[in-house]
Structures are given as C-alpha cells and as structure tokens.
C-alpha cells in the first residue's frame, strides 16, 4: 500500500508571503524560535544560512553526502529532510541515555511520526521537526532533573547511613567505656579488701625491694597491728590514716591523688616509708614491738 501525504498548498509565486514561506526560511524561523535545534553531544548537523555541516558519518550516509564534504549546500525540501534526520538521531540518543525513571513514551511517538520524513515536505515536515525538538528538550530536561533528584536522594541516604553508623559507634564506645569502668571498679574493690591489699604488698615488696617471704611475714604482722589492712582505718587518737597509718594521711598523695580510696597507693607509700626509715619490714616490726609505733 502506497502512503500518500497531502502537501500543504503554498501561496502563488511572486507575492511577499510566498517569498517568506520557503522551506529554508521556515527552517530558519524554527531555529530562531527554538534556539539550537540539535544541541549537546548528540548534535550531528549545524545549519546556518542553508549550509549543512556533517559531524556524524551516519547522517552523511542517510543524506548521501560524503562526510569529507564539510559544507554541502542544501535548500528547500532537502534542507528540511536533513534537519529531520538530524532531529531523529538526536532524539534517539536522548531516549537511549535518559534516566530510567523518565517517561520517554511521548518522544518515541514523536520519533515515529517523523520517521517517514522522506515522504513529507513543507509545513507538515517543519511542524513535526519542531514538535520532536520540543519534546526532546523536555525529555532531556526531565532526565537531568531526575538525575539530580536521584543524586540528592543517594546523598541523603548516605548521610543518614553515616549518622546511623556514627550513632552506633558512639553507643558501642559508650558501652565499652562503661564496661571497662565497671571492670576497673570491681578490680579496685577487690584490691581494696585486706586479701587484695596483702597480694599487692607481697608483689611490690618482691619486685621493687627484693624482700622475700620472711620480710612479708614481718610486714603482715606490722600492718595487721596498725590497721588490720583496712585502707579506711583512721586512728581516733592521732589521726593516722590507712593501711600503713600515715600521719597525716595526706603524705600518701606523694604516690597518687587517690590515696584515700586506693589500697595499692597506700601500700606503695608504706613500703617506701619502711625502706627509707627502717630498711626492712622486719626492722620496722621490731621497732613497733619495742615502742608500740613505727
């Protein structure tokens, strides 16, 4: 079946209207109205004053113009059809590259309606080119807008994920810190018992002063008499404080600021005092037995 497309009648030659309604003038008016008809990386032709520059080999094949010919001169229906071919090529590129969420159905319809451009001419062909260009621009803009929206949504998701990860990390760090503090408190509580203080004293006496079991027995007797190894002990008569009964208790701050709550700090100060004042725990114990203090 042969398709017959009615041609639009043109005014009689010789009138001013006829001179203004040639195909090339119609195309130039369309170009002025719509700006760059074929734009961006998809552009395949540039038309200025009826001169056609081929920038894509495929179009040269469609038109039968070698791509080596930079500016073949076309006019009238040939110019209209060249622009139609370029418009279709650009529109197809936009459809191919459009964001998946962008509706390209209307543009695909425009492409289909323009695909029989070889059988069209005059105002009918120009109208289809213009509508296809308008729809191409709309779809390209919609695709760009969707790309931007997708990028913003992805950035928002990443930011939310980072906030959640940061919050989880902070929560874990807080839990670990609380667990460490609890473990340290439990360890300190154990060290502050008489048994824990004796264990710490035996270790320090051996490692720091070289005192063996015999010296520790004297130390145990001395501090059992003085305080019962109670880090909270305070002599009601003179105010001597802690396991070694330092007078005043603040002397033990020379070891650490926690002298009031840490038995190990008191033990460290007491051993240092015994070493500097009596030499050994047994000498200190002998002095205490003799005069009732050390």
DSSP letters along 208-222, please? HH---HHHHHHHHHH
Same domain, 203 and 144: no
Q: Which residues contact 72 (CB under 8 A, 6 or more apart)?
A: 51, 52, 54, 65
Sign of the dihedral through C-alpha 52, 56, 61, 66:
positive
Q: Is residue 263 assigned to a domain?
A: yes
Q: Final residue of a domain: which of 128, 150, 172?
A: 150
- Residue 107: closest CA among 137, 143, 136, 141: 136
Q: Is residue 265 assigned to a domain?
A: yes
Same domain, 44 and 106: yes
Q: Is residue 122 assigned to a domain?
A: yes
Number of domains in the chain: 2
Q: Is residue 188 assigned to a domain?
A: no
What is the model's pLDDT at position 101? 96
Q: Is residue 281 assigned to a domain?
A: yes
- pLDDT tens digits, one per residue of 99-152: 999 999 999 999 999 999 999 888 899 999 999 999 999 999 999 999 999 999
Token pair of 42, please?
A: 């998809």
What is the model's pLDDT at position 47? 38
Same domain, 141 and 201: no
What is the model's pLDDT at position 122? 86
207 vs 75: CA distance, rounded Å: 106
Lowest mean pLDDT among 7-16, 123-132, 165-174, 181-190: 7-16
* pLDDT of 261 over the 50 cut: yes
Mean residue pLDDT across the chain: 82
Same domain, 139 and 204: no
Distances (CA, A) of 91 to 97, 137, 141: 10, 9, 13
Q: Is residue 170 assigned to a domain?
A: no
Mean pLDDT of 234-243: 93
Same domain, 228 and 144: no
Same domain, 145 and 246: no
Q: Is residue 160 assigned to a domain?
A: no
Same domain, 223 and 134: no
Q: Which residues contact 207 (CB under 8 A, 6 or more apart)?
A: none
Same domain, 207 and 278: yes
Q: Is residue 6 assigned to a domain?
A: no
- Residue 252: closest CA among 267, 230, 274: 267
- pLDDT tens digits, one per residue of 17-76: 444 444 444 444 443 443 333 333 333 444 333 333 444 444 444 444 444 444 456 778
Domain interval for residue 80: 16-150
């Amino acid at each position: 079946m042969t398709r017959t497309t009615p041609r639009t009648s043109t005014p009689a030659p010789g009138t001013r209207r006829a001179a203004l309604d040639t195909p090339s003038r119609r195309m130039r008016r369309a170009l002025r109205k719509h700006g760059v008809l074929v734009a961006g990386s998809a552009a395949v032709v540039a038309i200025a004053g009826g001169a056609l520059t081929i920038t894509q080999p495929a179009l040269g094949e469609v038109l039968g113009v070698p791509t080596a010919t930079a500016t073949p001169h076309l006019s009238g229906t040939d110019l209209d059809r060249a622009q139609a071919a370029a418009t279709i090529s650009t529109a197809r590129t936009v459809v191919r590259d459009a964001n998946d969420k962008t509706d390209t159905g209307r543009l695909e319809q425009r492409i289909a309606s323009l695909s029989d451009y070889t059988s069209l001419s005059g105002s009918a062909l120009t109208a289809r080119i213009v509508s296809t260009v308008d729809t191409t621009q709309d779809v390209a803009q919609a695709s760009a807008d969707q790309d931007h929206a997708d990028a913003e949504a992805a950035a928002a998701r990443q930011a939310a994920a980072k906030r959640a990860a940061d919050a989880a990390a902070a929560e874990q760090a807080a839990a670990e810190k609380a667990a460490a503090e609890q473990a340290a408190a439990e360890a300190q509580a154990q060290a502050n018992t008489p048994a824990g203080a004796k264990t710490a004293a035996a270790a320090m006496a051996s490692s720091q002063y070289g005192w063996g079991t015999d010296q520790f027995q004297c130390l145990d007797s001395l501090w059992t008499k003085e305080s019962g190894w109670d880090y909270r002990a305070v002599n009601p008569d003179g105010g001597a404080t802690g396991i070694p009964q330092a007078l005043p208790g603040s002397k033990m701050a020379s070891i650490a600021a926690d002298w009031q709550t840490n038995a190990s700090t008191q033990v460290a100060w007491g051993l240092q005092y015994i070493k500097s004042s009596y030499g050994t725990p047994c000498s200190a114990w002998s002095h205490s037995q003799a005069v009732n203090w050390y």
